Structure 1
Amino acid sequence: MATTPAPVTPKTGPPPARSVLRDIAFLRLWAGTTASGLATWALPFVLGLAVLHRELGAAGLGLVLAARTAGFLAAVAVGGVLADRHSRRAVVLWSALAAAVAAPLLALGLGRSLVLMTLAAALAGAGQGACRPAFQALTAEVVDAGRRQQANAAMTLAVRTSTLAGPTLTALLAAFVDVGTLLLGIGLLWLVAALLPGRGAAPGPSAAPGPSAAGPAPRASFRAEFIDGIREARRHPWFVAGLGALTAVIALGYSATSVALPLISRDRYGTEWVLAAAVTAYTVGALGGALVTARWRPRSQGWTAFAGLAVYGVAPLSLMLPVHPAVVIAAYVVAGIGIELFNVPWFTATQREVAPDKLARVSSLDFLVSYGLAPVGLALIAPAIGTFGVTPVLAVCAAACFLVPAAAALVPTARHFGRTPEPRTARTD
């Protein structure tokens, strides 16, 4: 007797993750971060226009930019502690508002008071520095773990697009408005950064034991809490090694090319076109790298990221040799791709591996060390070139770009940027 077969239930897997670009909370955060990045980039460019219009001297420009850098470095560590103590959204609000207030003060002091401009620039830098770790931690609150790499890639795409289109847009606006109005426009961008992002979920507790039932423990000092963030960073060997490699590439490789590229463009090729083309090529390459990392999950993500960081060495290497300008431009494209193959997984791994209630402090340590030592590299590279010549300095810097990330890749936990690799289900390659 024939029997009726039982109905077959189709196998269904987990529903596909919703694209982060369709998440309203993330889009608000993305727009706010983009506004802050555009405002940060625009300020030195607009101040440069003030020098061209003779509203600010070259020495004054240097003083104002130095004050901004000092404000950034002073506030980034404080901002990290505040963003772990309090609401990350509140830290973004108040730090961005501080930068917004600095913009009209800069416009007021332009051509009238260099002291006022210097103080305003320090305030602007403090706002920029305080909001950076808060934005980084807020991303981890707004976006779930499975979509953070896509979110970080989207952030990078916005920053790189602003860098690529910003000069043209600013130059067009400068044809119709004065420098003071442009500074006020920077203030409006900071208002967008302050008001647009929404509130994320509260950070989860760390692995450390909490307070006893008798009551909450007394609040530690700023210094103690920052040191606690350093202690958290040291728990992750891959992070310490990666921060060292990133610092070496920025302080040596990036600084060397920043100083040497204009000189070589002028002296070897006899035109500023190579300088402009190489800088543009680097940004285009970074855009391509961000697009790749939005979906690519290599088996050994840490090793792949360190390889991408090491690729920056092709930029100083191309400047050492009397090659066709097309080779220099191609080298900068490759360097741009490589830097984002590192940046996006690096940010994502930090958000994944670091204790949530210490994430802002660890992120502030990242910005403080890598960006803080960059001016030191810039200050030392020019005298070194004057003493030893361009080619030997570029050779040393290229070697550092290749060797330091390679050494960092040998550190335990570096292969996957963590103690265990990401789940295989997250792979798309």
Structure 2
Amino acid sequence: MRADLRPGAALLRSGAFVRLWTAVTASGLATWALPFVLGLAVLERSMTAVELGVVLAVRTAGFLVAVPVAGVLADRHPRRRVVLWSGLAAGLGTPLIAVGLGRSLVLMAVAAAVVGAGQGACRPAFQALTAEVVAEDGRRRANAAMTLAVRVTTLVAPGLTALLALAVDTPALVVATGVLWLVAAFVPPAGDRVVVPVARRRFAAEFGDGVREARRHPWFVAGLGALTAVIATGYSATGVVLPLVSRDRYGTGAVLAAAMTAYTVGALVGAVIAARRRPRAEGWTALAGLACYGFVPLSLLLPVHAAVVIAAYVVAGLGIELFNVPWFTAAQREVEPSKLARVSSLDFLLSYGLAPVGLALIAPAIDGFGAGVVLVVCAVVCFAAPAAAALVPSSRDFR
């Protein structure tokens, strides 16, 4: 089933890739849209801010539980089947959130856990399925095309959703995100991997095989450590400190909105560059891009013009995609195919799973030590962690 794809427009002429791209885009849009739509429900007083926090926290918990399980299942079974199961779980669980709006927090929480589990389960399966559907010489552009779609969606979707909210009520918008999950479930193509039945072992043993496979690639362990550190610190600074700086230093929420938009624009540019250019020291270039997030806490720390803050977010967005595209491509190339889903699940579990921990800790840290100290620490970590990862010899080319 693998498409014999050459770089460039050949990707768009491949029906298999277009189906995969559509499914990944639909899942990304559904993942982004639910918190935004539920935020509209808070504005309409259909639910409280506390209820929103509970629903989103439970969704994250479902994600974290499902990611390692899905990694094992996606290496046991056809990846297409795991995508189907996860998409169906999220698609059928989403309408129950709409039913619970204004009626039952328990129902919303249970449904959100199911949706989060579906969201978490599809991530490693999609990563592994991409390696099956797209030939190696086309994967860099394929990964860039997928991240471009997600970034464009996050750029234009808030305005479109707000316009839809004028004509459609919030429960209907929630259900619409469930429809997106059904698209993600049914649209993807089948992969080319033939699953050979083997004697099943305990889940922990099979997941342990994935951990050992990850450790076999020092560049992966070092890069994942750097990515986790940057997300847990720089990302947290964005989530907690940026709104405060926008309000207290500049006296307007416009800086918050402009900075977040600038980050997405930078990511779009970064994805285009990553698709078109392959530097000689690909791994070092990717890690340098990851380190660019350090400019964000620096801009929030120093009394600079608002334009400098916005520029820092452009650079951070550009850098994160200069890292993401070669990172995903290298994993699909270097990791043993039969263990790729488990290694990818480890990636998502640590990098994205620890982000809520950083968000939870940074506010108390600011209260205890002050925003200045916390931002300095975040900046140092964002610069130092990728630099340390670059010292691992195989990090130069992610090989």
1:357 matches 2:338: yes
Query: 1:186: which partner in 2?
Result: 177
Secondary structure of 2:193's counterpart equals coil
Secondary structure of 2:352's counterpart equals helix
* Superposition RMSD in Å: 1.3
The 8 Å contact of residues 227 and 351 in structure 2, kept in 1 or not, is answered as yes
Letter in 2 for 1:392: V
The 8 Å contact of residues 204 and 356 in structure 1, kept in 2 or not, is answered as no
Matches of 2:198 and 2:53 in 1, distance apart?
A: 46
Letter in 2 for 1:328: V
Matches of 2:382 and 2:194 in 1, distance apart?
A: 36
Give every structure 1 segment of 4 or more consecutive aligned residues whose post-TM-superposition deviation is greater than 4 Å.
15-18
1:276 matches 2:267: no
Query: 2:374: which partner in 1?
Result: 393
1:411 matches 2:392: yes
**How far 1:263 sits from its partner (Å)?**
0.3
**How far 1:257 sits from its partner (Å)?**
2.1
Query: 2:208: which partner in 1?
Result: 227
Query: 1:57: which partner in 2?
Result: 48
Query: 2:278: which partner in 1?
Result: 297
Letter in 2 for 1:379: A
Query: 1:92: which partner in 2?
Result: 83
1:160 matches 2:151: yes
**How far 1:412 sits from its partner (Å)?**
2.4
Letter in 1 for 2:62: G
**How far 1:230 sits from its partner (Å)?**
0.4
> Structure 1, residues 296-329: CA drift from partner, whole Å, max 9, x if none?
1100000000000001101111111111111111
Matches of 1:376 and 1:57 in 2, distance apart?
A: 23
Secondary structure of 2:167's counterpart equals coil
Letter in 2 for 1:153: A
Structure of higher CA gyration radius = 1
1:332 matches 2:313: yes
Equivalent residue for 2:135, pick from 122, 132, 144: 144
Secondary structure of 1:413's counterpart equals helix
**How far 1:392 sits from its partner (Å)?**
1.4
The 8 Å contact of residues 6 and 137 in structure 2, kept in 1 or not, is answered as no
Equivalent residue for 2:122, pick from 111, 131, 134: 131
The 8 Å contact of residues 302 and 417 in structure 1, kept in 2 or not, is answered as yes
Say if 1:264 and 1:236 are closer, same or farther in 2 by CA, change over 3 A: same
Say if 1:235 and 1:177 are closer, same or farther in 2 by CA, change over 3 A: same
Matches of 1:323 and 1:17 in 2, distance apart?
A: 42
Secondary structure of 1:299's counterpart equals coil
**Which one has the bigger helix percentage?**
2
- Counterparts of 1:103-114 in structure 2, within 5 Å, are 103-114=94-105
**Unaligned stretches of 5+ residues in structure 1:** 1-14, 206-215, 419-429
Matches of 1:266 and 1:81 in 2, distance apart?
A: 45
Query: 1:285: which partner in 2?
Result: 266
Query: 1:76: which partner in 2?
Result: 67
**How far 1:178 sits from its partner (Å)?**
0.7
Which deviates more, 56-65 or 264-273?
56-65
Secondary structure of 2:393's counterpart equals coil
Secondary structure of 1:160's counterpart equals helix
Matches of 1:262 and 1:157 in 2, distance apart?
A: 26
How many residue pairs were aligned? Answer: 394
**How far 1:407 sits from its partner (Å)?**
0.5
Letter in 1 for 2:369: F
The 8 Å contact of residues 141 and 203 in structure 1, kept in 2 or not, is answered as no
Matches of 2:267 and 2:226 in 1, distance apart?
A: 19
TM-score, normalisation: structure 1: 0.90
**How far 1:191 sits from its partner (Å)?**
0.9
Say if 1:319 and 1:193 are closer, same or farther in 2 by CA, change over 3 A: same
Query: 2:16: which partner in 1?
Result: 25
**How far 1:59 sits from its partner (Å)?**
1.3
The 8 Å contact of residues 76 and 195 in structure 2, kept in 1 or not, is answered as no
The 8 Å contact of residues 93 and 112 in structure 2, kept in 1 or not, is answered as yes
TM-score, normalisation: structure 2: 0.97
Query: 1:320: which partner in 2?
Result: 301
1:379 matches 2:360: yes
Matches of 2:95 and 2:281 in 1, distance apart?
A: 48
> Structure 1, residues 135-170: CA drift from partner, whole Å, max 9, x if none?
010000000000100000001001111111111111
Matches of 1:16 and 1:100 in 2, distance apart?
A: 34
**Identity of matched residues, %:** 72
